[in-house]
Amino acid sequence: MVTVNCAMTADGKIAGRSRKQLRISSAEDLERVKRMRASSDAILVGVGTVLADDPHLTVKGLPPERNPLRVVLDSNGRTPAGARVLDARARTLIVTVEGCTATWPGADVLRAGRGKVDIAAMLESLYDRGVRTLMVEGGGETIFSFFESGMVDRYCVFVGSMIVGGRNSPTPADGAGLPEESAARLKLVGCDRLGDGVLLTYEAGDGPT
């Protein structure tokens, strides 16, 4: 089960023009995200998010052995040695590509694909490692790749009550874009007010049409 989860502004941005982390979620949404993380086997982000936000990707209060596996897509070995995702609070898997020789103390390395990480091959390897529920938290390039490869089962997006604008501000799905006739079709299965914002939940799974 692959769940994409993110928070966007009312004008559809997941961060502002500086690309630094922007608090979009309400307190209620943060609690929901914490519960979703705690019930996931693994949490995944792209290296762009590691470089922009330096997240821990852990659930506060859980010991390392009960925290979900942290997974980073990083074809070129750009995850800095001191990144928080490499701390001792949880296990970490850096997914890179054939030909990348980088290693990180304390992290496992998986090679899947050439050029950039092959999402389907990576998911197979994660399955072999016991990952049944994967939460994809961003950023826009990464989420797009999951939709492009048709590997998303559920898409949860919190819409916060703010506008940040910016033609280059990231959105939930950036990348090269799908051909219009191949837009990924979703089914709206939930619409919940969480504080001063709305959580939209969609089922996907058919991939690009």
Ligand X SMILES: NC(=O)c1ccc[n+]([C@@H]2O[C@H](COP(=O)([O-])OP(=O)(O)OC[C@H]3O[C@@H](n4cnc5c(N)ncnc54)[C@H](OP(=O)(O)O)[C@@H]3O)[C@@H](O)[C@H]2O)c1
**Residue 134 or 141 with smaller CB distance to ligand X:** 141
Q: Which range in 60-68, 69-77, 179-187, 195-203 contacts ligand X by CB under 6 A? A: 69-77
The closest of 188, 175, 185 to 146, measured between CA atoms, is 175
Whether the CB-CB separation of 153 and 189 falls below 8 Å is answered with no
Question: Which residues, in sequence order, are bridge partners of residue 188?
Answer: 202
Question: 56 is written with which tokens?
Answer: 């821990």
H runs (alpha helix) in the chain:
27-38, 47-53, 119-128, 140-148
Q: Which range in 19-27, 62-70, 101-109, 192-200 contacts ligand X by CB under 6 A? A: 19-27
Contacts of 209 (CB under 8 A, 6+ apart): 181, 182, 183, 184, 185
Our finding on whether 123 is near ligand X (CB under 6 A) is: no
The CB-of-200 to ligand X minimum distance in angstroms stands at 13
Question: Which residues, in sequence order, are bridge partners of residue 4?
Answer: 136, 155
The CB-of-4 to ligand X minimum distance in angstroms stands at 10
Instruction: Tell which one of 34, 78, 84, 129 touches ligand X (CB under 6 A).
Output: 78
Q: Strand ranges (DSSP E) for 78-153?
A: 92-96, 108-111, 134-138
**Residue 63 or 192 with smaller CB distance to ligand X:** 192
The CB-of-56 to ligand X minimum distance in angstroms stands at 13
Tally: H helices and E strands in the chain: 4, 9
**Residue 6 or 90 with smaller CB distance to ligand X:** 6
> Would you give the binding string for ligand X spanning residues 31-50, x where CB under 6 A is met?
--------------xxxxx-
Our finding on whether 29 is near ligand X (CB under 6 A) is: no
Residues that bind ligand X (CB under 6 A): 6-7, 14-15, 19, 21, 24, 45-49, 52-53, 73-76, 78, 116-117, 119, 137-142, 145, 170, 174
